[in-house]
Each structure stands twice: as structure tokens, then as C-alpha cells.
Structure 1
């Protein structure tokens, strides 16, 4: 069963809204409510968030997992571009990636 990765809160912007919606569904098992052609409300992500059709412009979004290798494989298989391979930092390990619509994100695991 795929891992469900959760965020605390974020507003994503994507020039490729449908590709971003598809990617997030495959990579994180999130669901969406469509509010017109240019906005998706994110469901089952921990707390509220959304995706707006716009040029990519967002801070780095960090998701938490207890199984970093499984999260890495799942995100990679869903079509992410890995921008930083798994590395250690004080408190844990993480990797960074870019989803198909251009949002830079990361997944970390506590030590």
C-alpha cells in the first residue's frame, strides 16, 4: 500500500494544474475537490491546502515520513525529479525533489 505523506499547510501554484493534481494523487495518495478549472482543494493531507493554476512560485514544502526509502521510491515512481539525493542533517535525513508542475519539495524522516 502506498505511503500517505502529510503536509502542515501550503498553497501550491502550478502552470500544469492537472499534472500536479495527478502527481500528488500518485505520489502522496491525496484526493481533491475541484473548485472551477483553476483550483483544487487538497483533501487527506493532514490539514488544508490547495493548488492554484499559476506559474510555479512556492517555498520549499517539507513532508514528514517514518520510512524515507519507501517515500523516495514512491515519489520517484510518480514522476518527480530528484534534486537532492538522501542526505543527513541534524535531527534526521531527507531528500528534495521537484514535482511535474515545478514545485520544489522535500521529505524528511526524524533520526
Structure 2
């Protein structure tokens, strides 16, 4: 449901749309709708969004917002990420309220995964 003044959609750069789709499908079971060779969208993943073809990357070092996903099992999710071509860029650490790690997808974008 679209709500007034709420975050509704997020767009993320991807160097390789097909590799990005494969990665997020394998690791997080996302599905996509293609809108030509340079854009695909995803829905029902907490917030809807899409990936657009670009050489740019999302990184907290560059001041980008950090997209944080949730997992019931951090270690299992981390293993799936690494098996599917992602890289752990900040190992699992504790913070008030849980634990998390940061990873990069095949395009080099930084994301995080957390759990209680």
C-alpha cells in the first residue's frame, strides 16, 4: 500500500543487471520484472525498488545510505552471499539490539544484514 510521506521506492545502481538479478534471486529469493536491458524492478521486499545500469556504486564510505536486510540466521545468509559471488566487507559484529555484517554484491554495492 502506498502511504503519504513514506519511503515508497528505492533505486540502486548495478554494473551488470543480469548478475545482480541472479545474485539477489539466489541469496534472498527475490524476483524481478525487466523494463528493457538497463532496468529491473523488485517488489514485496520490505520496500519496492529497482536496479538501473550504472558504473556507480553505493558505499557508506561515499556517504551513501546503507540498505540493511534482515535474516533469521546471519551465518547461513553470509555463506549464501559468499557462495553466490558477494563479498563480506565487514565481518559479523555486535551492536545494541543484535548482530550484523556488511557485504558487497557483484556490482560492488554495500549492503548489511542484521539479526537479533
TM-score normalised by structure 2 residue count: 0.80
Q: Which one has the largest radius of gyration?
A: 2
Residue by residue, what CA displacement relative to the aligned partner does 1:17-55 show, whole Å, maximum 9, x if unpaired?
211111111111101000111100113423311000012
Which residue among 51, 64, 70 is the counterpart of 1:64? 70
CA RMSD of aligned residues (A): 1.6
Aligned to 1:74: 80
List alignment gaps of at least 5 residues for structure 2: 1-7, 59-64
* Structure number with higher relative contact order (C-alpha < 8 Å, ≥ 6 residues apart): 1
Aligned to 1:23: 23
Aligned to 2:102: 96
SS across alignment from 1:20 = helix
TM-score normalised by structure 1 residue count: 0.83
| C-alpha contact 1:31 1:44 (8 A) present in aligned 2 | no
List alignment gaps of at least 5 residues for structure 1: 1-7
